[in-house]
């Protein structure tokens, strides 16, 4: 793609390429911790929003509800999460992080931060704030059906 191409389509392609590379680099750094990017996203969402539903977890981890169930089963077997035996609203079982997940997330956050730092090292702090604001506005615009 031509770096001077400023068409809306090229912006979409650039965002997708950046997202794909970010995902690859995060995967590279999380793999030694035996975590995938969706698992990391799930654990982070549970840390940030205790009591979150499986449906919302799936959305935040960019996986289907069925895939989230499989993902949670794997995290439960590893002793990283505990799922309630009692179904809650909409028959979903609550999920909480275990201490092992909290420790693992400390290391995972460091690894992901190093990737984001690498991605933004050439971007001035004030530009990073603006980039965040712009991307959030783009995301929010797409939330409207």
What are the pLDDT digits (tens) for 48-83? 998 888 888 999 898 999 999 999 999 999 999 998
- pLDDT at residue 2 above 60? no
Q: Is the pLDDT of residue 33 over 70?
A: yes
Q: How many residues does the chain have?
A: 145
Whether the CB-CB separation of 35 and 108 falls below 8 Å is answered with yes
- Whether residue 97 contacts residue 43, with contact meaning beta carbons closer than 8 Å, is answered with yes
pTM of the model: 0.86
Give backbone dihedrals phi and psi of 58, rounded to 5 degrees, phi first. -60, -45
Return the structure tokens found at 1.
Answer: 């793609």
For 82-125, write each residue's pLDDT tens digit.
987 666 555 666 788 999 999 999 999 999 999 999 999 999 99
Distance CA 43, CA 109 (A): 11
CATH of domain 8-143: 1.10.10.10
């Amino acid at each position: 793609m031509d770096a001077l191409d400023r068409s809306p389509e090229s912006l979409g392609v650039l965002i997708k390429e950046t997202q794909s590379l970010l995902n690859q680099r995060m995967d590279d750094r999380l793999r030694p911790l035996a975590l995938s990017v969706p698992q990391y996203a799930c654990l982070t969402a549970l840390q940030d929003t205790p009591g979150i539903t499986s449906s919302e977890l799936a959305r935040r981890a960019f996986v289907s509800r069925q895939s989230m169930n499989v993902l949670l089963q794997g995290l439960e077997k590893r002793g990283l999460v505990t799922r309630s035996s009692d179904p809650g609203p909409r028959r979903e079982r609550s999920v909480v992080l275990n201490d092992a997940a909290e420790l693992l997330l400390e290391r995972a956050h460091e690894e992901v931060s190093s990737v984001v730092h690498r991605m933004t090292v050439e971007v001035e702090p004030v530009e990073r704030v603006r980039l965040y604001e712009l991307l959030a506005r783009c995301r929010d615009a797409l939330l409207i059906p």
